[in-house]
Structure formats: structure tokens, C-alpha cells
Structure 1
Amino acid sequence: MLRKPKIQRFDENVLSKYQIYNSLFLTLPFDDISNTGSFLPLFSEMCSQGYNENQDPSTIVDSFFNKFYSDKPEEERISLLFKFIQYIERQVVLFDAIEDAAFSIVNNMDGHGTLRSVKEEAQAINKIEILKTHLKEFKIRPVLTAHPTQFYPGSVLGIITDLADSIEKNDLSNIKKLLAQLGKTAFFKKKKPTPFDEAVSLIWYLENVFYHASSKMFNYIQNNIFGEEELNNDVVKLGFWPGGDRDGNPFVTPEITLNVADRLKTAILRNYYRDVRKLKRRITFDGTDVIISELETSLYQNIFLPSKKHTLDKETFVSKLYEVKSILVKNHQSLFVDEINDLINKVKLFGFHFATLDIRQDSRVHHNVLIGIVNDTIKNNLDIFPENYESLSEQEQIEVLTKVSGKIDPELITDEMAKATLQSIYVMQEIQKYNGEEGCNRYIISNNQTIINVLEAFAMIKLTGWEKPTVDVVPLFETVDDLQHAKTVMEALYNNEEYKAHLASRGNLQPIMLGFSDGTKDGGYLMANWSIYKAKEELTLISRKYDIKVVFFDGRGGPPARGGGKTHQFYASLGPNIENKEVQMTVQGQTISSNFGTVNSCQYNLEQLLSSGIQEVFHRDKSVLNDDDRETMQKLADISYQTYSDFKAHPKFLPYLENMSTLKYYAKTNIGSRPSKRGKSDKLVFSDLRAIPFVGSWSQLKQNVPGFFGVGTAIAEFEKAGNFDKVEQLYHNSLFFKTLIENSMMSLTKSFFKLTAYMQEDEEFGEFWKLIHNEFELTKRLLLKLTGYEELMEDSESMRASIKVREEIVLPLLTIQQFALKKIQEFEKQKGVDSSLIEVYEKMVTRSLFGNINASRNSA
């Protein structure tokens, strides 16, 4: 039977089901305002019609009330708007659950980019042995971060999972109960989560999704590609930031880090315990049943003990499993050997640590910390630093930092940040002792600009008495300027004798992290991506020169502006000039739930990542840029960068964000543990802005500036000069550039300028709004011309359809948000307005943030 087109599968299994279940949902009586469910469709229709007639949000809301709610006082009108927000949030959840349930139907689980497809293609061209060689080395490492780009509390995530399961089974009775539960479950957090709370939320995904999806992948590779030959490469490694990411988060303490590591270990032991209980029901033979029972008892006891008191270690656990396997093979015709192998493979992947907890801190903090340590060691007569350290030249400081050694008691340090930083390194040692080295063996330096930044962190690691630290020191180059200097920094490090010896002890492997979102915020969409691409080429070249295996770790996020979009295509587009032995990337917020939220979606997307990194097996053209194309790309990036820089320097840039967007409301959402900006100043400073509220504020405005601004102007320069064919040539020759363009189209597709068109009449910001809108129209026109499409995202029909439904769902919510923002602006210009009324509308804005961000899950 012919498989239906993807868009048809989407329409039948997602869109149609949503229409049915949404009509059911709207009739459920779970609120204290009668007929809210019947009013919302009417309001939605008025929003669509109103924007088609170029009405502004206030006119649309007022028209609705005049037509359907004219006899009600303002208090009830406000209450109805809050109820609309609640309904819309839950409609988004319903749509999420339906998409999750239909994932394996809409997506071809054995199609291009899956392991089965890769294996069959390799077999067809006699390249299984080459594929095996690659899989003996290649790894993927998704690193879960707590960056708050999704607002679902844990209780709601649980409902999504259960709802998806019931929808898949067409269990109407349970669906009705879960929809009712959804209606009564709070979405808003009354207080900020702690870093530990964030960790617990994400560990749920490790336990319930990654544990199963990763091991299914590994088992497939072992059984279907390697067969009897044992695969000793943990192809899927997991990383974890909550509890270890100290950058800008004063609430991450050494104690929190230890507690999170302990929780990770408990979680993996709990999963092993569940599997051993299942084995116990099958492996009931002489010589094996006693061993299995002992393991069950030991795992159960250790789950309830802190790591320091654990009596079972990884080596003992694995050896017992191999002992059982040996008995099964020798005495019981290998009965249930596959089940034992499955558990052995899981231990290979997850050890007793589950996921590697990374430590991260900003280089500027490190510098201040080091100066504090220098002063306190001198005060305590510890012969570690010279008294004139601060006045030394950079080269002299490098020499001091390189030779530093000793063991400092953190209690001697008076500065609290310096003390906590040292303690966090002692904590790394403790975690390695109880969870294994992989439990915590990477120290990431944010905002890395110089060799000094790396050596300051390296010196602090050595000052804990760690003579041969089992730690990878990972510089993170974020801004355009930092990326341009990355090669110089790393070459200096590779020539530093002490650091060279450290690298030798780490197998001459150097991970380097490259940022996306801060780069986009700094240099705009094209320049950020091109700068990272070039930096990877340069760093590959210099690392190969010194026989160093460089591994790139990408700070990718959800939307294209944060390096997301069609992630797999990005990795498949890397040529031989970029080292690609591992794919490492941060995964956050809605990207976790949308790409890795169910076992099916997680396995599918992990397989896509894996296959994107082993393309050279098939000798596909990985689009090495020729000189002409490089010149075109560089010129596009330069023009785009200048355009974006001029835009940032516009006198209305920050005031517009501050006064016309939702930027200042992000801090009130209680979605993440860390502050929404870095600095302590009450005044808005661009460098203090975190990338997430920055990108998110443009998203709430439906303007998505970071994903397209400057792209249109850059291409237009070629068009004006009669050189548009050069851009077309680059587009057809380079998968890298093509992916950039496709992801930018996604940002354009999610923009809706009619929502804020009223701003063009604003006395202060009208011209600035027009500047943004003109760039949007220019970019849209030129991307359609470049691709030959009639409409944006023409080649991704099902994704475009998903975006369309989601945008329709949240349009009333965004209308309410703009209505409330306008009300606040009006009140602030008036004298004597009741402050409590302003607070109500501020709360309305804050509450409206949630649904829109959650609806954008497919931006990953």
C-alpha cells in the first residue's frame, strides 16, 4: 500500500483530531464564568476578521465586548480575558499532545536519516565496514539545559504525556477526564523554581524518555550493524546543566550541585532497579536467580541512600550482569540473553551518573574570583602568587598561572563568590568519586576572550590539590569578536607546556563550545552563523596542526535565532574542513519537549543527529564552499552585520524593547531560577540582556527580528548590483547556506505584523516599527525569489501547517496581550489612575507570555 504524503498524514492524524477534541474541550465546565468556551471561538473569529480589516487589538477587544458582553461591568470583562488566556494555554497543550501521539505516523520512523535507512544504504553500496569504523568513534551528546524557553510546570508535562497516550489509544473516556484535569491544573508558578527544582523537572525526561530511546538506538547498532562484535563506544552520551550552570545564577551553590549529582545517580539506579525486577520474572534458573535477587535488593537499598553511603558500584554491577549472561549462554541455551544485553548496554551508556553534569561560569567572574584568591593567599602568607600579580604584564601573568599549584582551603577565602567557585571544583572531585569520572568532568568558561580566561580557570582547578585533573576545560566563544579570536587563543594554549601536558592526560582531546544566541544578539543572524562556521574551520585546522582532537559543542537553542531550526541539516552540511567526530549541542525549553518529549520523537531525532554526523561514509557532497561562494557568503554576512549593528545603535532600539515589548515582564514569570539579566543596574543595558528574554520579546511581538533582520538588506545589495545570480549560486551549492535561509523563513513565517501595525502611528516609535516591517517585507520578497517558492516554507508543508494551527490558537492571546500593554501605556500617561488596576493589566501581560512561547515548540 502506498504511504500517504506527510501533509495528508498530518491533516488526518493531527489537524482533524484537534478539531474534534478541541470542540469537546470547549464544552467542559471547569470555570466560574459561564459559557467561556463558547465565547472564545467567537473572539477568535473576531481577531482573524479584525486583522484582515486592519483593526488594532484594542478595537478588536472593544468590538467583541460591545457585541457580546455589553451588559457586563469592567471587572467581569477583565475576568473573561483571563479565562480566555487559561483556555488558550490548554488548547496549546491539547495540540502538543495530539502531535506527540501522531509522531510515529506523521514521521517515517524508518525513513531517511534513521538508523535502519543508514544501515540499508551502507549495505547497498558495500560500506558496512566503513560505517562500523565510524560508529566506533562517533558520538552524539545532547546536553539538557534549564534555560527557560518553555513554561510548562511538571504537572502539565505529565498530563501531556498521559493525554498523548490516551489519544494514541483513542480512549475517549480518559481523554475527557484528562482534559478536565488540564482545565483545573495551574500553569502559573507562584514562586521561582530553585535550580534543584529545574533539575528534577529535566531528570523526568532522562528517566522516562532518553533512557529508553538511547538504549533502543544502541541496541539496534549493536544487534543489526555490529552483530557478534561488541561495540565499545557509548554512541549516545547525555549532558546536564541544571545545578552546575553557575553563569549568572547566584542560586546555584556547591551544595545544589552535589544534590543534583546525587539525584541523577538515584534516578539511574531506580531505572536499573525496574529493569532488574523485570529480569527477575524471566531469569528464574539455577545459578542466575540468586544473583538477580541480590542485585535487586542491593539496587533497592542504594536508591534510598546518599551517594556517599552506596554499597554497590558500577564495576560490581556490570560484572554480576556478565556473570548471569555467561551462565545463560553456557547452561540455558542463551534464553533471555537479549534482555541481559539490553541492561549491560544501558550501563555502558549511563554508568552510575546518568548524564554528565557540566560546571559553567563566566570569565569575568573568574577574573574577580582569582584576584580575591590572590589577595587572600598573600594575606595568609601562602607562597602561591607574587604580591604584584595584578600589575604584571599579560605574559607574566600567564607564566604565573601556568606554574601555580597547591591546595587552598576555601574557608580561608573571604570573598563569597571566590569561596563558592573553589568549593564547586572540590565538589567535582567528590562527584567523580561517587558517580564516576563522567559524573562531572567538564568546566565551561562563558564569555571566553583570551588565553588568560582559560588559564585562570585551569589555575583554580589546580589550586584544589588536583595535580592531574580529570577535567576538560572548555572555552565558550560567543560574540562575533570572540569567535574571530578563537584560533589565536587556542594556538597559544596548544603551545603552553603545562596545558599541553594536561591535554595529553586527557587523550589530546579539546572540547570547544561555540555560542549561538549571544552571537545572534551581538552580530545578527547571518554573521553569527557564518562566524561560527569559519571559527570551526580555523579551529579544526589549528587543532589538526598540533595533533589535537577538537570536539565542537554548540550552544544551540530552540528557535533559529538561538541556532535552532533544522538542526540535523546544519550538521549534515559541514564539510571535511570542520572536525565532526562528535555532535554536541545544548537542548532546552520547548526543544526538549517537542524533539525529545516522547520515546518515539526522541529516538527519531537522536537517530537524525547521529546520521547527520556520519555522512562521509557515503561520500556525499558536503558542499565545501568554493572561493566565489565564500566571497559571496562573507559579503552577505558583512552587509547583514552592518545593517543589524546600525539597527542596534538606533536611539529607539532599547526604548522600543523596554516600552513596546514584553521584555520587562519576563522577570515576573517565575519560569527559571536565574535572574533575567546579568547586571544590577535598574537601567536597561544591552550587554546585560540575556538572550532568552531578548529573543522571546521579539517573538511575543510576532516580529522575530533576530531570525531575519539584515538578511533582506544583504541580498538586496546583490540584487541592486545585478549580482543576484551569485546568491542563487551560493544557495544551490551550499547546504549550509540553504539551511540558514530555510530557518530564516521559519522566523518570517512566525511573524505577524498586523498585530502591532497600530504602532506605526505612534509618535515616538512609528518610524522604528516601519524600519522593522520594511526589513521583514524585503527579506520575505527576496527569500521567495531566491528559493523560487510561492509561499514561505513551501518545502515543509506539515511543519508549516503545524505552525499555522498554533498561530491561530494563540492569536486571541496575543491580541489580549497587546490590548493590555496599550492599556498600561494609557494609564501611565494619565494622573490619578488606581495602581491596582495597572497591576491587573500587568498580570494579564505576564500570564499571556506562557501560551505563546509554548505554542512555538516546533521552532526547534
Structure 2
Amino acid sequence: MYQSKRLQVFEKQVKNKFNIYNGIFLNLPYRQDSNIGILIPVLYQSCREGLESGKHPREILESFFNNFTGIENEPEKIDLMFRIIQYVERQVVLYDSVEDAAFMELKSLGNYLLIKDFFNMVDNRKSWDRILEKLSGFSARIVLTAHPTQFYSPPVLDIIGTLRSLIMANRIDEIDMTLQQLGLTSLINSKKPTPLDEAKNIIYFLRNVYYNAVGELYGYIKEHAGSREFQNHNIVQLGFWPGGDRDGNPFVTAEITQQVADELRMSLFKCYYQDLKDLQLKLTFKDVEDPLNVLRDKLYNAMFNPDENLTLEEIIHPLLDVKEQLITRYHSLYLKELDYLIDKVMIFKTHFAALDIRQDNSIHRKTVAAILAKAGIISSDPDELQRGQLVELLLSGDIHADAADFDDPLIQDTIRNISRLKRIQEKNGEEGCNRYIISNAVDELSVLFVYGLFRWCGWSGQRLTFDIVPLFETMEGMKSAEATMQKLFSIPAYRDHIAQRGEKQTIMLGFSDGTKDGGYLMANWSIFKTKETLTSVCDQHNIKAIFFDGRGGPPARGGGKTHRFYAAQSDKIANHEIQLTIQGQTITSTYATHEKFIHNCEQLLTAGLANSISGKVHTISAEFRQLMEELAQLSFEKYSALKAHDKFIPYLEQKSTLRFYDKTNIGSRPGKRNATKKLEFTDLRAISFVGSWSQLKQNVPGYFGTGTAIQRLVDDGKLDALKRLYREVPFFKALVQNSMMSLSKTNFNLTSYMREEAEFKDIWQILNDEYVLSVKMLLLISDSKELMEEEPVSRESIKMREQIALPLLVIQQYALQKISGSEEYREAYEKLVTRSLYGNINAGRNSA
């Protein structure tokens, strides 16, 4: 019933309102030729009907030009397509605003487990003692990344916020004015952002959304805990990758990392300063004015001076002293407001968000080799040493590394960065930067290289105040993860390090490269099993396993509905904390507003805590595990055969937008990991890989192999077992529903012209057949009549977004077709393809 009501509200508050405001927008006279707004609905209709009838993008657009525009020459056609793209991009912005405006009403009709519901469950079961113990140590860490998958600048985000407020209030005249502003505001960067630019764009959300939202959520939890003492300021934590993530990004240097750390700290002090300024309007009492003025002056100085070092104690002690004065002398007047600020200071301390450092294992190995060669211990390769000798050098070797001793810029920066991390901790606090993540970890040396580098770069003989976090992201990495951790925990020096770090080991498992490497089902199942295995390994050594998930955004990158994913973990997976990465488009779709942030944080927390109170555990039987194993293996074989197809890489290079990602001004990282001329599969970044399939509307990493795997088991007489697997195993149901989301965004009609091309018709047909089969099989085992049947509002939102973006997609395919046959206008068509990337990805933001 609630789904039906929510769908009615969606129709009224989102679909209908968008159509009304879109009508206003398309008729705004902010261009010299006002008929673009008239042409766009006509173009959409031509695209939809043309694709459904089997026409190719080239046919559709040529017919459109001839029948509706009167344009005959190529430059005018290209110019018109550019202007259509600009309009459609802004339609996407408008739709974002309308959908955000309806969020609270739709949320009120949703079937969600909120914090207040969770506490009601605790009351009913009289289990406060157990749940308070869990609450005191549990946390959700949301790690913000700078992956180039969302392109709204702060001015555009401000416009979206303004539109959202105006739409909620139905202020038509001001909406009209703001839409005109939107039409004249650039949506793209004029140049590639630096890592510092990317950091500042994410800090926009920290200052404008998360600072108050986290504080409010903490206060809400504290209030609903009633008279019971609740004191866990880490229950919601923020992590930060821009400026610290140097994996494949030569533009992230030690200097950049320091600048970003300073920016985080100074931005936080600006928030504290404003809060204190507002509070002083109420705390006008004689004995509290002076200490607050002194604190305010210190914050002011620290806001603009990166060398000004203001400690947590210098901030919190005056506030606690004022609190004592309010209680003893001023009738606790405005005590609640003061407590609110004190709690925020205890949450964010002096760092705002914890800056993670990340680098690839190969860079650490290269740096270790250079240092050992410089010391005369080897000639060039660490393998010259016996493994035991190498381990001993990393653990206790008396070696000093100085960046100035090396010529290679990457080696210099690796040493310089590790050497300077202590300085960041001194200014931002230890919690402000205390994790070093190792991409492509393969064995115990991957971790010990970093341990050794810290020792050699100035930490020798001192407590290492960093968690070393291996990231197992490939199939091979996950297979070796158990042996890797067992060997590490058996090394006394490393085991002592874990003891110093609170008997916790954080382990990251990467969905993005996992799905690229092993395909959708195999990657997800492998990560699930690896978590179970590593939980057992950690339990054997009395260590808490903390899993950090590189979830990205869309299901094709291991994302999807986050709370559904965490609520579906098995009883064999450690559940001490929830940690996950959130990338660009997921930031704006799921965490961009105050209300959305609080709601989705609540969902994360209740997903992690609910099983603790209900006593419900997700146990997967041996029968179902065998089914999952068979599905994963069959799917992997199908996906591996696709990767081995001799046209797989050429198809991506020539028929998708892969080669154009690097031409966009959307991210600081190069488009591929290595600068080799020939594209190798291992060079592909998950973002551009998944993004290219998304632009093609084929979404291969989000389902490929699933249909074949299910069909094989159905043919073996296992349909009933598969249906029970879907009904009874939440993890499998979550996989299926997330895959349905990918399939819902797939449209092979857009590229059906490829079935006529001699070189690529076979691989296109393979992809199309697997799509058709996957839809059929998922509907079969879920007993559904249509994809996303259980999520009608999300389904309709996707339909609306796909509808808005359809003209962009057709223009993009038209331009791709024209590039190979139009030397004179090749550059213009390449720019057209590049330009079309922005709106298409923004339109697909509701991936999680």
C-alpha cells in the first residue's frame, strides 16, 4: 500500500512539477534563438519513436534536421546540437532540484527503519544494556572521494539548493528568475581541476551540509537515548580522499596533501567561528564573555593562517569552562545550544574529515628497491634478497631515506610525503590523517613495504600512529588475502603494531576493480566470502576486523542500495563498523542535502545495528552457498570469455566514449594508469571503464554473465532452488535488485546499428543477447513482471532521467558515427562527444 501511495506522490510532486517547470524553462528567452526549447520535445519524440522502430541515430537526427529545422550545412547542425546539449544539461539540473524538493514527503511514506524506530525496538525488547554497549563502539565512516563522476560546481550546487527551496514553496516568479540564472551559468569547468580544486569542491559539502547535519544527527541519537548516557562522538565519521589519494595520479604531491589538510582544518575553524559568533549573541553574561572572546580571536587567526596551530584542548577547554559557569551561575541558560557546539567540536576535533593516504603497491616496491640500492644492499631488485632478509630489513633495518638522494620524482615524493605525515598529525590531530591504504595488495610484503617506509622516513623507534590498510581489489588479491593476513599476524613486530592500534585491522575490498576484473556476480560473491574468511582470521588472533568497502556509486562499480547491502551481510562477517567510499554522483544523489544526509546515515546505522537487537542473523545454508558458487563460476566464465574476445578492447576504444574521458575537464587523474600507447585491460580505470559502458547504455559490468549463469542452473532443474535463494538470502536478493537497476538503464536500441558492422557485429550481438537473457532470468527467479517491481519510485525516477537524457545519447552516437567519416569536421564531432558526457552522467546520478 505504501508503495502505491509513494508512487502517487512521486507522480504529483516530481513528475508533474518537473513537467510544469520544464515548460517554463524551455520557453525562457535567454538565447537569441528561442526555438531550441520548442525543438527539444520534438527531438525527444523523434529519438524515442525512431529507436523503437529500429532507426539508427544518424537516420533519426538527419530526419530531424530536414523536417523540423531547415538546417542543411554541417556547421549549423553541429552548433544546434551543442546548444541542445546545453539545454538538456540544465533540464537534468532542474529535475535534480524537483526530486530533492520532494524528498521529505516521499521519505515520510517509505518503509524505512529509522533511529527512532530502532530505539522503539530496543524499548520493546528491554535490551538497552546490550545496545548501549554496541552503540558506544559502533560507527559509520563515509569516505568522500574525488572520482570524476559528477560535475556540478559550487555555484550550480547553490542554484540547485535555491531551486529546491523555491519549488517546495511553489514560488513561481522566483523559480522563473532562478531558471534564467541557471540558463546563463556555465555547468562545466574551463580547465581540468587540480587535486586541490577537487578537495575544495568536496569541502563545499562539509561546510554547507555535513557540519550541521552530523551534529544534528548526533544530538538526535543522544536525545532518543533518553536518560541513558550516550557518549560516542565517532558514531558518524567523515573520511576524505582528495589530496591524499595518489594512486595513478601524479598531480597529488606531498605539497598538495599538506595544502588539503590545511584547507580542511581552516574550513572547520570557519564553521566553529560562525557557531561561536552566533552563540555569543545569547551568552551575554559577564563571566563567560572574556573566555569566549579569547577563543573567538584564536579561531579567527587560525581560519586564515595555515601555520597557526590551534589544538583541540585549546578549543574545548574554554567551552567546558563556560558550560560549568552556565550550570553553576546562570541557571543553565542556553546550555543545550552550548552542548550542541561542544558535541560538534568533539566530533570534528581539528580535522573535519580524516584524510586518507593511498598509493599503489608497485610504487612502494619501486621506492623500497631504490632505497635499498642506495644503501648498497641490493643492485636493483628486492628479490635479490632472501624473503626473510628483506622482511628483517623492513621491520628493523637501520636505514634512513632522504628524498633529496633520489632523482625519480615519484620516489622523491613518496619519501617526502611519508616524512611529512607527522606534521599533518601535529596540526590536524592524529585522527586527521592516520590511515595509509595500499592499492593492489597481493601479499604480506605489500603491507611490510609501507611499514618499512614509515620506519625509514623518520618513524623509526617511535609508535607508528597509522593504520596500514591493504586493499585487495582483484580476484587474485582476494584469493591470497587469507594467507597474507595470517602471515602478517604471525610477525611479532606487526602484531605489536596492531596492539598499539587498538587491536583493530582495517581491510579494504575494492568493488570497482573487482567487477572490472571478475564480473558482477563473481566479484560480489568473492568479496562476501573474503570478508567471512578474513573475519575468521582476525578472530583467531583476537583482532577486530574492520571492513572498508570501495563501493563507488552504480551497481556496475559494486554500489547500489547501500543500506540494503549492509543489512544483508551474513553472521560470519564482522560488524564492528561500516566504512565505505562515496563518489561524486552518489554524493549529490544520496548525501547532498541536510535531509538526505541524515536519512541515509540513519539507514547505514540501523542496517548495521538492527541485527544486534533483533537477534536475527543471516545464515546461508550449504545448499545456497553451493548455488551461489555455481552462479558465480558460470558468470565468471561467461565474462572471462567476453574479456578474451579479440574485439573487446577495440570495441571499447572505437565504439564507446572511453577515449574521450581524458579530454574532459572533470578530474585531475589521467584516464588510464600507464602512459603506454597500446591500451591494455589492466590500464583501464574502473571509472572510465564502467562509465563508457554506461554511456553506451549497455552497462555490461552491472549484469553480464548473470543471465547465462541462471539459465544454466534452470536447465539443470534448479529453478525452485533459485527462487528460494532469492526469497531467503538477503545478500542474493540485494545483488539481483541492484543488477535490475543496471538493466533498467540499458537500451540496446541506441547502438543497434552496430549489428550491421562487419568488425563489431558479433560482439554487439553477444552483449545484446546476454542483456535480453539477464532480464528474462531475473524476472523469472524473482517472480516479477517488470524490472524493479519492488521499487516503483526508483524505477519511475530512472525512466524520467533516461527520458531527459535520450537526446544527448542520440547526439553522442550520431557524433561517434560521424567522426570516422567526416575528416573536415572530426574535431568538432569529437568535442560534441566529449561535451555530451557531462549531462549523461549527471542524469544517471540515482545509482545508489
Classify the TM-score, shorter chain: over 0.9
Provide the rounded CA distance (Å) in 2 between the counterparts of 1:453 and 1:4. Answer: 52
What aligned pairs does 1:405-554 form with structure 2 within 5 A after superposition?
Answer: 405-466=398-459, 467-554=462-549
**In the alignment, which residue of structure 1 is the partner of 2:262?**
262
Counterpart position of 2:735: 740
SS in 1 for 2:548: strand
Q: CA deviation at 1:71?
A: 4.9
Paired position in structure 2 for 1:244? 244
- Where 2:469 maps in the other structure, the secondary structure is strand
Say if 1:47 and 1:812, in contact at 8 Å, map to a contact too: yes
Shift, 1:385, TM fit: 7.5
Q: Does 1:623 align with 2:622?
A: no
Matches within 5 A, 1:680-719: 680-719=675-714
Q: Which amino acid aligns with 2:448?
A: L
| CA root-mean-square deviation | 1.7
Separation in 1, partners of 2:110, 2:55 = 48
Q: Secondary structure at the match of 2:545?
A: strand
1:431-463, Cα deviation, whole Å (9 max, x unpaired): 100110011100000000011111011100111
Shift of 1:351: 0.5
- Secondary structure, in 3 states, of the residue corresponding to 2:620? coil
Contact 1:272/1:299 (<8 A) preserved: yes
Partner SS, residue 137 of structure 2: coil
The one-letter amino acid paired with 2:559 is G
Q: 1:686 to 1:716 in 2, by over 3 A?
A: same
1:233 Cα deviation after fit: 4.2
Tell me if 1:668 matches 2:663.
yes
Paired residue for 1:830?
Answer: none
Aligned letter for 1:223?
E
Instruction: Report the Cα distance in structure 1 between the residues aligned to 2:396 and 2:9, rounded to whole angstroms.
Output: 63
Shifted more, 362-371 versus 165-174: the winner is 165-174
* Structure 1 pair 621–732 and aligned structure 2 pair: CA distance change class (3 A): farther
CA distance in 1, matches of 2:693, 2:753: 16
What is the rounded CA distance, in whole Å, between the counterparts of 1:249 and 1:809 in structure 2?
Answer: 34
Match of 1:612 in 2: 607
Q: 1:402 to 1:263 in 2, by over 3 A?
A: same
Match of 1:402, as an amino acid? L
Q: 1:361 aligns to what?
A: 359
Aligned match of 1:160: 160
Unaligned runs of 5+ in 2: none
Alignment of 1:745-784 (within 5 A): 745-784=740-779
Cα separation, 2, equivalents of 1:395 and 1:728:
51
How far did 1:395 drift?
Answer: 3.2
Q: Distance in 2 between matches of 1:789 and 1:389?
A: 57
Give 3-state SS (helix, strand or coil) of 2:413's partner.
helix
Figure out how many residues of one structure are paired with residues of the other and give that number. Answer: 846
Residue 807 of structure 1 aligns with an amino acid whose one-letter code is E
* Displacement after TM superposition at 1:77 (Å): 1.8
Distance in 2 separating the partners of 1:614 and 1:427: 38
Cα distance in 1 for partners of 2:754, 2:345 equals 57
Q: How does 1:9-88 map to 2 (within 5 A)?
A: 9-88=9-88
- What's the offset of the Cα at 1:578? 0.5
- Give, in angstroms, the shift of residue 224 of structure 1: 1.7
Check 1:193–1:3 CA distance in 2 against 1; reply closer, same or farther (3 A cut). Answer: closer
Distance 1:121 1:763, change over 3 A: same
1:230 Cα offset (Å): 4.4
Residue 284 of structure 1: SS of its match in structure 2? Answer: coil
Give the share of equivalent positions with the same residue, in percent.
46
> Which residue number in structure 1 is paired with residue 340 of structure 2?
342
Amino acid at match of 2:557: R
Alpha-carbon distance between aligned partners in 1 of 2:328 and 2:174, rounded to the nearest angstrom = 48
Stretch deviating more after TM superposition (503-512 or 354-363): 503-512
Distance (Å, rounded) in 1 between the aligned partners of 2:273 and 2:448: 43
Equivalent residues of 2:50, 2:56 under 8 A apart: yes
Contact 1:623 1:733 in 2 (8 A): no
For 1:316, the aligned partner's letter is E
C-alpha separation in 1, matches of 2:590 and 2:420: 32
Letter in 1 for 2:181: Q
Q: How far has the Cα of 1:414 moved from its partner?
A: 3.0
Moved more, 804-813 or 168-177: 168-177
Contact 1:458 1:473 in 2 (8 A): yes
Q: How many angstroms apart in 2 are the aligned matches of 1:640 and 1:228?
A: 50
Q: For structure 1, which segment, 118-127 or 799-808, has the greater mean C-alpha deviation from structure 2 after superposition?
A: 118-127
Q: TM-score of the superposition, structure 2-length normalised?
A: 0.98
Structure 1 residue 108 displacement after superposition:
2.4
Residues 219 and 58 (structure 1 numbering): CA distance in 2 closer, same or farther, change over 3 Å?
same
Moved more, 613-622 or 467-476: 613-622
In structure 2, the partner of 1:381 is none
Alignment-derived partner of residue 837 in structure 2: 849
TM-score relative to the length of structure 1: 0.96
Give matches, 1:821-832, under 5 Å.
821-827=816-822
1:220 is paired with a residue whose SS is helix
1:859 alignment partner, SS class? coil
Shift of residue 129 of structure 1? 2.7
Aligned partner letter, 1:345: D
Which deviates more, 68-77 or 567-576? 68-77
Q: 1:199 — aligned with what?
A: 199
Amino acid at match of 1:26: L
* Structure 1 runs (4+) greater than 6 angstroms displaced: 1-4, 384-388
The letter of the residue matching 2:23 is S
Deviation by residue 1:732-770 (Cα, 9 ceiling, x = unmatched): 221000000000000000001111111111111111111
Q: In the TM superposition, what whole-angstrom CA distance separates every residue of 1:231-256 from its partner, at most 9, and x where no partner exists?
A: 14420111000000010000001000
Question: What corresponds to 2:330 in structure 1?
Answer: 332
Q: Secondary structure at the match of 1:5?
A: helix
Residue 584 (structure 2) aligns with:
589
CA displacement at 1:468 relative to structure 2: 1.4
Which deviates more, 361-370 or 172-181?
Answer: 172-181
1:309 paired to 2:308? yes
8 Å Cα contact 1:143-1:238 kept in structure 2: yes
